[in-house]
Structure 1
Amino acid sequence: MEKQGINLERLWAPLTKICAECDYADGPDCNPQKCYVSFAKTVIEYSRTKGVTEIPGIHKLIPPQDLKPYYKDLVSEGIAITCQECRQCRENHSPDCVVALVRSSLEGTVLPEHLEYPGSVLVYIAKIKELDPELAEFIAAKMAKK
């Protein structure tokens, strides 16, 4: 389903893969309130239900820590899709956009710090490369395939 040019199904697909590979999925240790991926899924579900692409103030509710191990190759696919779905708003970028919320949640799984999104995919990938060159390569490779 597309909402204002954003393909929510494309954003959803890698989240499902990440959950399928999670050691805690559907078990007693699965805690959606502390999980970055569960947060991203909730954002997409809300967007589908309400027909909105921006949820004011919700970026402040991204879980502060999710200490589960995540696989860069799976996460990089999700980040690559957010880059492809991004409308590159530049100075009009909103951290409460559905795409930005999913991207920020996925960043938290593999990066040591949150990146301020510059509103440009190319500048964003360059920032990731400074923190984690391997992740930047994974993302670039996955973006090239789609």
Structure 2
Amino acid sequence: MKKTQIILIALFFLFIISVFMFILYNMWESEEKTLILEKAIEDAYWAAFAGLEEGKIQALSGSVGVGSGSLSSNLRYSFTISTIPGFPDRRRISATGGYFDNAGNLIAQKRLRVDIQGIGDGISGNESTVQGSFYQIN
């Protein structure tokens, strides 16, 4: 009887330890996924910012339209340049950056928008960001 009790107690402790280990593993696994997602969101922001900068460069020549590019196989961006109605010397640049996994699935996406003034007004070098026009959407 004593030997059976010892075996049952040992099995009970093994069960408790295995449940505890299962809980710890799931906490660690979810924390790792959270860190990966946070990194993907940060990378998507920088891809959108790169698109915004490329859009600014193209807007300085007075052009409007769309463009896209990539920083790596996982980081891609696109941007649009448009004239703001009622302000012929202003351009609105909207950029979207995305982080994709190796299979090409979108993991995280960020969108940015900014307005630039002084474009095409005949005064070289006076282009500037419109005060308060930098928006982070999403």
Q: TM-score range by the shorter chain?
A: under 0.3
Q: Where is the strand percentage greater, Structure 1 or Structure 2? A: 2
Q: Where is the helix percentage greater, Structure 1 or Structure 2? A: 1
| TM score, norm. by length of structure 1 | 0.24
Of structures 1 and 2, the one scoring higher in RCO (CA 8 A, sep 6+) is: 1
| TM score, norm. by length of structure 2 | 0.25
> Which of the pair has more CA radius of gyration?
2
